[in-house]
Structures are given as structure tokens and as C-alpha cells.
């Protein structure tokens, strides 16, 4: 019996030591003593996992709360900024409309506080019509923008463009007059002092003496035009007369500037250079107008194909090459041109023109000396063909005055009173440069038409709006050459003669006025002496054409038949 109890006691003892069958080895320490059973510690895997998850949740919640708070703070700040911006904008609008120095000048509020309608009217080619409508509504002085005023009061010609010495002169608006691609200002964009120097030098080339010496060369192109039109004068072919008139004026300009024509009349088509120049002119004008709205020029620049800007550079490079070739040939006393006179009077560096100034000025004269003259001739023919009685009277005057085509010269056309009246009236109705002539008031400010304008105010006259104003002309939309012949019907067509300045006014008026008049008189005379013209574009209306500084002319189709004698 004892042995059994001894074994049982041994088992109990061993069990008490923790090594019985109900104890796992993990519950005995390395000395063999039983470990005290306790709760799982925080360092155990299961407990550690749960604690980590709880901590992550707490940190995530805390971060979320912080982010929400930050977002709410940012939102509050954004709302504050937006509110501040709206308040500032509202204050600016109120100031601009009611407290600005120009506030008493009437004008459309939307135009005054935003450049959008102004820019849109330019991009759609409707600027001259918009400005005329605004003047009809608001009067002869209209505020077109926060800092811009337009005038149709004839007094504005003297106040803005007249002779003002020193600091009282109105400089050209730099927004619209940029230097050439070589960075040098030309005759149109130059400062008043530089313009006076350049103009004085070029004036020798446009003097009466110079024009007389150039007439034989110019007459060659008049006669070539008639020769090229004769095969087309069968009464059945409709030709775009505007193209042929432009061929003539561009060829003359090429000969006068570079000593060689563009060959347009010979080939019966535009020189590739001229074609690119005319096709891209509208895009370049839109690019310049984009300066009106901050940041828009960059966006507009992205929309203009790179080829257009490359062609603009090629146009300037072509001018430089043409000038270089002409200078290399030297002066030809039998073929005087513009550079003949520039070289003759260019010895004084202080009074002369640099080569860069010649390049930049000749670059703009290509278009300025050709497009405007051809536009006037096209407009004159359009007005005549729309008014048969006027056309008949002018034909009688021309055909009774000249016995031969060769009798039509610069001097012989000057006395034709009705011809001059017809041209004056077409210049009034369809001014070659119909848009604004932008200037800026001098730094000290100035009075214009009785209004005090602070320094830096943009001012301008729209030729089209001025010429179509009921305040300046009776029946302003009618073609009435007789209004320029008051001795025939005195007081029948009253008008303010001060309003009519088709070649601008003052020290910066058109230098080529005399040349343009001679070209227009002679070509109109030669066309009407040699041909009977008939309009073949019944729906063609001059005023429906867009304007981008100059008229964006459509085709004007006419048919020709030779005059029987």
C-alpha cells in the first residue's frame, strides 16, 4: 500500500511543481519553477496589434480633424479673398463710373468697365460701326473705356493732332505703334522728335520737284494697267478691279522704294511676298489688339500659327534684302526713287536716317503706300457705279477734256473740278484708314473739345464716325460730290469743312498725300477715258466689309468695254 501512496505523492508533488500533464512547457521557467499565471501583457503579439490599431485610429482621427480644420481655415481665407476682391472690384467700378476724372464724359458703362466689348468689336471687324453707333447715341465726345475717349467734334483735329510745341504734343499711343522686328521705330511709331527728323529727310522724296521727276516712271505703270486690261474688255468677263488697282499701286511703291517693281501687273497676279503680307495683316492686327486685355496676348499668341510669325519675319527680311540690293546699285539719275533723296541728304548723322531706320520705315511703307491708295480708287469706282448720273457727268468731264490718253498727266488732271469732288466724297464716305488715329494726352494733361483730360488718357478720332456724323454733314450716308462744289448749289449740302481730314492733320499727317492724289486722279481718268465699266457684283456693299485698321475688301467684280471714238 505504501508504495502506491508514495507514487501518488510523487505525482502530486510533480504536479505541484508544474510539470504534470495539465501544464504546458511554456509555463515552467528555466530553473524548473512554475511561472505565475498573469494577464497578457501589452507586449504580447495580440495585445500589441490591438493597441497599434487603436493608436492608428486615434492618429488618423486627429489628422483628419486637423485637415478639416485646415480646409475650413483655407475656405474661410478663400472666401475672404474672394469677398475682398469683389469689394475691390465693386469699389473700382463705382470709382471708374462716377468719380474718375473722365466720369462726366458720356459712354456705355459696359465698355467703360470692361475691354471685352471693345476687343470683340475689333476682332469681328465691326469697330468703326460700333463707334459710330455710340457717337450717334452719346454725342460727339464718347468715353470708350476707363481711360479712352473718342471724338467726332471737328475741333478735336486741332486739339489732338495740331501743332503743339514741346511737352504739349500728343504722342502716339504705344499700344498700337510698336517698333519693327529689328527693334527700331519707323516713321509711324517714332517719337515726335525722331519723327520730325525722319519726315524731314523723306519729305524731299515727296516734294513737287521729286514727283515731277518720278512721273515718267510712274506713267509706265498707268499705261501698263490699261494695256493689261484691254484683252479683258470684251463686256463678258468679270474681273476683280480691286486686284488690278492693287497690282498697280504695289508695283509703283516697289519701284519708288527699292528701284524695282514687284511685277504684279506683268504677271497679272500678286507677288508671293505681297500675297502673304495681305493675308496675314488681319492676324497681326488681332495680335496687337490682344494687348488691351492683360494676359490675353499670351493666349492669342498660342492660337496664331507659327508659320504666320515666321512669314512676318520673312517679310522684314525681304525688305532688308531689297534695300541692300538697291543701295549696292547706287543712285541712277534717270530713275530717281526714295533712296535717291535719302542718300543725297543723309550725310549728317544727326539729321539723317540710320540703316536700321531705313529698313523699319520702308517695311511699313510697302503697305501704307499701296493699300490706302488702291482702296480709295476701288471705293471711288464703287460709288460711281452705284450712282449712274454721277458717273455720266464725270465721264463727260474726262472725255471732253482729253483728246488722247497720253494727255492725262499729273498736272492736267488737277483742274478737273468734278473729278476732285468725286474723289473727295469717296474719301469721306470710305476713308482708306477708317479706324482710330490713337494718341495719348501729354503728361501734364490737356483740354480737348472743352473737356479736361489727365495725362496719359488715350484719345482718338474715328475717320468713319467723323465722316458719317449728322452734326458734320447733311445726308452723311449719301454720295453727293456736289457738296464739295458749293458755288453750284450754295447751302444745298451744308457741312463743316473742318471735319474732312482723310490724310490726317498736323505735323504727322500723311507724307504721301500729293503722290496719292496724283495716282488716284490719273488712274481714274485713264480707266474712264478708255473703258465703260459695269458693276457685276449686285450684292456688293462697301459698308458690309470688315475693317482691321484698313478695309478687309471683298471682290468687286466689274466688266469692261472699250470706249468707241
Would you list which residues are annotated within the binding site for heme?
Answer: 510
Distance from C-alpha of 542 to C-alpha of 529, rounded to nearest angstrom: 24
- Find all residues with CB under 8 Å of 317, minimum gap 6, and list them: none
DSSP state of 497: G
Choose among 256, 462, 248, 265: nearest CA to 371.
248
Known binding residues are: 510
CA separation, residue 347 to residues 173, 209, 350, 354, 511 (Å): 31, 21, 9, 11, 22
Query: Helix (H, G, I), strand (E, B), or coil: what is residue 461?
Result: strand
Q: Determine the Cα angle at 388 with ends 468 and 491, to 5°.
A: 45
Contact between 345 and 201 (Cβ < 8 Å)? yes
The three grid cell numbers given for residue 209, joined into one nine-digit string: 520737284
The three grid cell numbers given for residue 219, joined into one nine-digit string: 506713267
Burial 488-507 (b: 16+ CB within 10 A, else e): eeeeebebeeebbbbbbbee
Query: Helix (H, G, I), strand (E, B), or coil: what is residue 176?
Result: coil
Contact between 155 and 498 (Cβ < 8 Å)? yes
Plot region of 259 (φ>0 → left; ψ -120 to 50 → alpha; else → beta): left
The three grid cell numbers given for residue 373, joined into one nine-digit string: 491708295
DSSP state of 30: T
Instruction: Name 559's bridge partners.
Output: 534
Strand ranges of the sheet holding 439-440, from the earlier edge strand across to the other edge: 141-145, 148-151, 458-461, 439-440
Distance from C-alpha of 467 to C-alpha of 429, rounded to nearest angstrom: 7
- Find all residues with CB under 8 Å of 90, minimum gap 6, and list them: none
Contact between 458 and 149 (Cβ < 8 Å)? yes
CA separation, residue 52 to residues 55, 56, 60 (Å): 5, 6, 12
Choose among 425, 412, 382, 417: nearest CA to 396.
417
Contact between 540 and 546 (Cβ < 8 Å)? no
- Find all residues with CB under 8 Å of 81, minimum gap 6, and list them: none
Instruction: Name 561's bridge partners.
Output: 532
The three grid cell numbers given for residue 38, joined into one nine-digit string: 498573469
Amino acid at each position: 500500500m505504501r508504495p502506491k501512496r508514495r507514487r501518488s505523492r510523487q505525482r502530486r508533488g510533480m504536479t505541484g511543481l508544474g510539470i504534470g500533464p495539465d501544464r504546458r512547457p511554456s509555463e515552467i521557467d528555466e530553473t524548473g519553477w512554475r511561472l505565475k499565471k498573469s494577464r497578457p501583457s501589452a507586449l504580447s503579439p495580440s495585445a500589441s496589434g490591438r493597441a497599434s490599431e487603436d493608436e492608428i485610429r486615434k492618429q488618423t482621427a486627429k489628422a483628419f480633424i486637423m485637415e478639416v480644420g485646415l480646409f475650413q481655415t483655407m475656405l474661410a481665407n478663400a472666401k475672404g479673398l474672394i469677398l475682398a476682391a469683389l469689394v475691390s472690384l465693386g469699389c473700382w467700378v463705382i470709382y471708374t463710373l462716377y468719380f474718375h476724372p473722365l466720369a462726366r464724359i458720356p459712354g456705355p458703362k459696359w465698355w467703360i468697365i470692361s475691354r471685352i466689348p471693345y476687343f470683340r468689336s475689333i476682332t469681328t471687324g465691326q469697330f468703326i460701326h460700333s463707334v459710330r453707333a455710340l457717337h450717334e447715341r452719346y454725342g460727339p465726345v464718347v468715353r470708350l473705356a476707363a481711360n479712352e475717349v473718342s471724338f467726332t467734334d471737328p475741333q478735336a483735329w486741332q486739339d489732338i493732332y495740331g501743332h503743339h510745341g514741346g511737352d504739349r504734343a500728343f504722342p502716339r499711343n504705344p499700344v498700337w505703334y510698336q517698333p519693327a522686328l529689328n527693334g527700331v521705330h519707323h516713321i509711324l511709331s517714332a517719337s515726335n522728335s525722331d519723327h520730325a527728323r525722319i519726315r524731314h529727310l523723306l519729305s524731299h522724296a515727296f516734294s513737287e520737284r521729286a514727283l515731277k521727276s518720278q512721273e515718267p516712271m510712274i506713267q509706265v505703270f498707268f499705261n501698263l494697267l490699261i494695256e493689261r486690261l484691254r484683252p479683258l474688255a470684251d463686256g463678258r468677263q468679270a474681273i476683280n478691279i480691286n486686284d488690278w488697282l492693287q497690282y498697280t499701286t504695289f508695283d509703283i511703291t516697289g519701284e519708288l522704294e527699292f528701284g524695282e517693281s514687284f511685277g504684279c501687273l506683268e504677271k497679272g497676279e500678286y507677288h508671293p511676298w505681297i500675297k502673304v503680307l495681305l493675308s496675314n495683316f488681319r492676324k497681326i492686327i488681332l495680335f496687337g489688339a490682344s494687348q488691351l486685355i492683360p494676359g490675353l496676348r499670351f493666349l492669342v499668341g498660342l492660337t496664331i500659327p507659327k508659320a504666320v510669325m515666321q512669314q512676318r519675319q520673312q517679310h522684314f527680311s525681304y525688305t532688308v534684302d531689297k534695300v541692300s540690293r538697291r543701295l549696292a546699285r547706287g543712285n541712277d539719275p534717270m530713275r530717281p526713287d526714295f533712296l535717291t533723296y535719302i542718300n543725297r541728304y543723309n550725310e549728317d548723322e544727326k539729321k539723317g536716317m540710320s540703316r536700321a531706320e531705313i529698313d523699319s520705315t520702308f517695311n511699313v511703307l510697302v503697305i501704307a503706300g499701296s493699300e490706302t491708295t488702291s482702296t480709295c480708287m476701288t471705293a471711288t469706282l464703287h460709288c460711281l457705279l452705284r450712282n449712274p448720273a454721277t458717273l455720266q457727268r464725270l465721264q463727260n468731264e474726262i472725255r471732253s477734256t482729253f483728246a488722247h490718253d497720253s494727255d492725262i498727266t499729273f498736272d492736267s488732271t488737277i483742274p478737273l473740278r468734278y473729278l476732285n469732288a468725286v474723289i473727295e466724297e469717296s474719301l469721306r464716305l470710305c476713308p482708306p484708314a477708317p479706324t482710330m488715329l490713337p494718341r495719348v494726352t501729354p503728361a501734364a494733361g490737356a483740354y480737348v473739345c472743352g473737356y479736361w483730360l489727365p495725362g496719359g488718357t488715350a484719345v482718338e478720332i474715328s475717320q468713319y464716325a467723323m465722316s458719317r456724323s449728322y452734326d458734320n454733314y447733311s445726308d452723311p450716308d449719301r454720295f453727293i460730290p456736289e457738296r464739295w462744289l458749293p458755288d453750284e448749289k450754295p447751302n444745298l449740302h451744308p457741312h463743316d469743312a473742318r471735319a474732312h481730314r482723310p490724310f490726317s492733320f498736323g505735323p504727322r499727317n500723311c507724307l504721301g498725300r500729293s503722290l496719292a492724289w496724283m495716282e488716284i486722279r490719273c488712274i481714274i481718268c485713264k480707266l474712264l477715258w478708255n473703258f465703260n465699266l459695269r458693276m457685276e457684283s449686285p450684292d456688293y456693299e462697301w459698308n458690309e466689309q470688315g475693317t482691321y485698321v484698313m478695309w478687309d475688301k471683298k471682290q468687286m467684280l466689274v466688266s469692261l468695254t472699250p470706249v468707241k471714238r
